[in-house]
Amino acid sequence: MSPFSLAGQTALITGANTGIGQAIARAMGRAGAHVICAGRSSCDETVGQIASAEALHLDFANPMAAQGVFADRQVDILVNNAGIIRRDDSVDFTESDWDDVMDVNLKAAFFTCQAFAKAALPRGAGKIVNIASLLSFQGGIRVPSYTASKHGLAGLTKILCNEWAAKGINVNAIAPGYIETNNTQALRADPERNKAILDRIPAGRWGKADDIAETAVFLASPAANYIHGAVLNVDGGWLAR
């Protein structure tokens, strides 16, 4: 069997109704996985595009929402993709915009990893892929809670690697560059920001969700068995500039 195949594996992707999460769900389905499409919005459209898939309601308004999800079914691959962003000047930034973003992007990601590991550690096998960001490395502008959460997610990826790598669980992250999804709609709608971003991307184009999806398949596959604690940039060369 190809080392890039996910045949016989079950993958759970959070935020699988749209954007990067939807593309990852479809790609993992193409690679042969049974896909659990988890989201607060309906994932029926995604499920309909995958040969073997099911929907799961998961709303990280409660960051502990995934407790119990892994107890009654075997899940081999977890993709922590759900994420939100709030934009405002740091001097005006509100506590609710801080807490909402940290809850979904960081607290929910940690406790979902923990719930997954409680089930996967006794089996001695599992793959976690966290969706980080360029703002795991850079400061960004007017997005303080997002930047803090994504720096935190990169750190979590490393500590969980240190604790679980020898026990059969690979914990890695992808740092997407500027990808055409709802998350970046405001940037693409602003001609000045759009031009400034495009001018800096060596590849000369915005990324597509599918650019991220195939990287997630790779990190979830046996081909990545010796990759632990990596935060892999998929950014058209942005960070090389």
Site string for ligand NAP, 40-69 (x = CB under 6 A): xx----------------xxxx--------
How far apart (Å, rounded) are the C-alpha atoms in residues 149 and 215?
Answer: 22
Among 178, 217, 218, 236, binds ligand NAP (CB under 6 A): 178
Among 13, 104, 128, 219, binds ligand NAP (CB under 6 A): 104
Where does residue 130 fall: left (phi above 0), alpha (psi -120 to 50 degrees), or beta otherwise? beta
Work out how close the CB of 223 gets to ligand NAP at its nearest, in angstroms, rounded to a whole number: 22
DSSP H helices in 138-208 = 144-164, 185-189, 191-200
Where does residue 229 fall: left (phi above 0), alpha (psi -120 to 50 degrees), or beta otherwise? left
Work out how close the CB of 186 gets to ligand NAP at its nearest, in angstroms, rounded to a whole number: 11
Q: Which of 70, 116, 146, 206 is catalytic?
A: 146
How far apart (Å, rounded) are the C-alpha atoms in residues 161 and 214?
Answer: 22
Angle between helices 95-102 and 144-164 (to 10 degrees): 30
Q: Which of residues 202-241 bind ligand NAP (CB under 6 A)?
A: none
Answer whether 183's CB lies under 8 Å from 206's CB. Answer: no
**29 is written with which tokens?**
């389905």
Answer whether 132's CB lies under 8 Å from 157's CB. Answer: yes
DSSP 169: E
- Is residue 152 within the footprint of ligand NAP (CB under 6 A)? no
Work out how close the CB of 225 gets to ligand NAP at its nearest, in angstroms, rounded to a whole number: 25
- Is residue 83 within the footprint of ligand NAP (CB under 6 A)? yes
Among 6, 9, 28, 39, binds ligand NAP (CB under 6 A): 39
Q: List all residues 6 or more positions away from 112 whose beta carbon is below 8 Å from its beta carbon.
A: 14, 66, 69, 78, 80
Among 2, 74, 90, 182, binds ligand NAP (CB under 6 A): 182
- Is residue 84 within the footprint of ligand NAP (CB under 6 A)? yes
CB closer to ligand NAP, 6 vs 66: 66
Residue 136 Cα distances to 105, 152, 216, angstroms: 12, 7, 17
CB closer to ligand NAP, 46 vs 170: 46
Work out how close the CB of 56 gets to ligand NAP at its nearest, in angstroms, rounded to a whole number: 11
CB closer to ligand NAP, 32 vs 176: 176
Q: Which residues bind ligand NAP (CB under 6 A)?
A: 14-15, 17-21, 39-41, 58-61, 81-84, 104, 131, 133, 176, 178-179, 181-184
Would you name the residues annotated as active-site residues?
146
